[in-house]
Amino acid sequence: MEASLAEYLKNQVQHFDRISFLVAVSGGRDSMAMLFAMHRLELRMACCHVHFGLRPEAIQEKELVHNFCRQLDIPFYTQSVNTRKYQEEHQLSIQEAARELRYRWFSELMERHRFDYLVTAHHQDDEVETWLINAVRGSGWRGMMGIPSRRDRILRPLLKVTRKAINAYVEKNAIPYLEDLSNLGDQYLRNRFRHHLLPMIDDLLDGRISRLPQTIHNLHDAGVLMNYFLGKLQERVWTSTNGFMTLHVDSISHFPSPGYVLGELLHPYGFSFSRCASMYESLVSDQSGAEYSSKTHEVLVDRRRLLLRALTKAGSEESFQITATDLPLHKNTRIGQLDVFLVAENQYFDDNCLTIYFNPSAIAWPLTWRRWEAGDRIQSFGMKGQSHRIQDLLTDAKLSKWAKESTWVLCDQKEVIWIPGLRMAEKGRIEPGSSCVCLSLRPIVS
């Protein structure tokens, strides 16, 4: 077991004998065996243990781990948490609550004491059980890739070690441990698989279930390849503009099962495959205005395009005023950086109306930067005596619902003088060679 552990660390971590590890230990035989094996390898490490307060024997486990660390001269950290309270507050299963609490504390410990890696004791039998559970639950290909042997700074060095080998190592080295009594019953699905389904399958296949880890390894490699090609597809089909990403239906419609392809493309943003199937139907039937949201992002169907953006907190986009004494002003806004400053004479008027010039004495200060509102009008440059409703200008420009909602304007005390990217007002027209105020917006590109 020590040789397998050393080989894993050599392959995964450069100079593993010089860096520090935080070892998560429950007090069960798997984690106690791993702690002992890492001690035998003379690695720089500390032990961490979480007391979840769920079982009477949890206090004994804490004392066992602490005493073992004292015997081996290993630094020991422990934390008690109220798992039941956290479960109720966050509406999680008890296993999910315990997982979130322990990994949050592990992360805090690693940052506070500058450990390089966290090590957990998941082994090969755990991986087989997890794989089968995912299979019967209808998991996609990601669930068929098995438990990752490394995820960022979390290492799982025992995934090629069987429970049988761990038991033999514990017995050979007289390693103390406490059996979690909850593992003996059939309350949890994993236990029912372990106690009944796996032995039955092994018996029916004459022991050939031992080949399942190789199947999982093969599917893991296929999943890595799938991720690679999906990354390339993401780069090809998405374009970024105006603070959100855009995908056109024609970029995926030629694929087999394009609704599934859309699901894969939106998976990183928290959308389920069933929601994505509905989105695709909205796309191909040109149901403009349909909106969908996940916990982190939202999607808008706009003609035959799909727009994607991150959710923003309400109230994060505030209006503000600009006085003449504020110049020069350089301010980050929701849609980009706004620059307002004095220049000796105008340099140019860009075609997209993102940089304009005004006569400072012809506008009524202070200026106000705000979202456009229903009823707003602007007397466009070159059209003396004629004004347009901003709502009509946005519609004529064929902007999406989101682009309309994200339109901001600059007003003086009487009227709108600038719609960045669309129109500037006749008011404030300057004469060649005169000093002026430059207004410029550098839009966000995401």
Average pLDDT value over all residues in the chain: 90
Question: Nearest CA to 22 among 1, 51, 52, 48?
Answer: 48
pLDDT, position 384: 72
The domain of 251 spans 238-310
**138 plus 278 within the same structural domain:** no
**Structural domain includes residue 130:** yes
Look at residues 310, 340, 356 and tell me which one is the last residue of a structural domain.
310
**Structural domain includes residue 58:** yes
CB 321 within 8 A of CB 368: yes
Look at residues 310, 339, 355 and tell me which one is the last residue of a structural domain.
310
**303 plus 324 within the same structural domain:** no
pLDDT, position 380: 87
**138 plus 251 within the same structural domain:** no
pLDDT, position 248: 94
**382 plus 279 within the same structural domain:** no
Dihedral of alpha carbons 137, 139, 144, 150, sign: negative
**120 plus 242 within the same structural domain:** no
- Gap between the Cα atoms of 79 and 73, Å rounded: 19
**298 plus 336 within the same structural domain:** no
**331 plus 434 within the same structural domain:** yes
- Say yes or no to pLDDT of 346 above 70: no
**56 plus 197 within the same structural domain:** yes
Model pTM?
0.74
Q: What is the CATH number of the domain that holds 114?
A: 3.40.50.620
**157 plus 30 within the same structural domain:** yes
Total number of domains in the chain: 3
**Structural domain includes residue 20:** yes
pLDDT, position 313: 61
**Structural domain includes residue 231:** no
**Structural domain includes residue 230:** no
Comparing 96 with 445, the larger pLDDT belongs to: 96
pLDDT tens for 114-127 read 999 999 999 999 99
- Say yes or no to pLDDT of 414 above 70: yes
**198 plus 303 within the same structural domain:** no
**14 plus 141 within the same structural domain:** yes
**32 plus 180 within the same structural domain:** yes
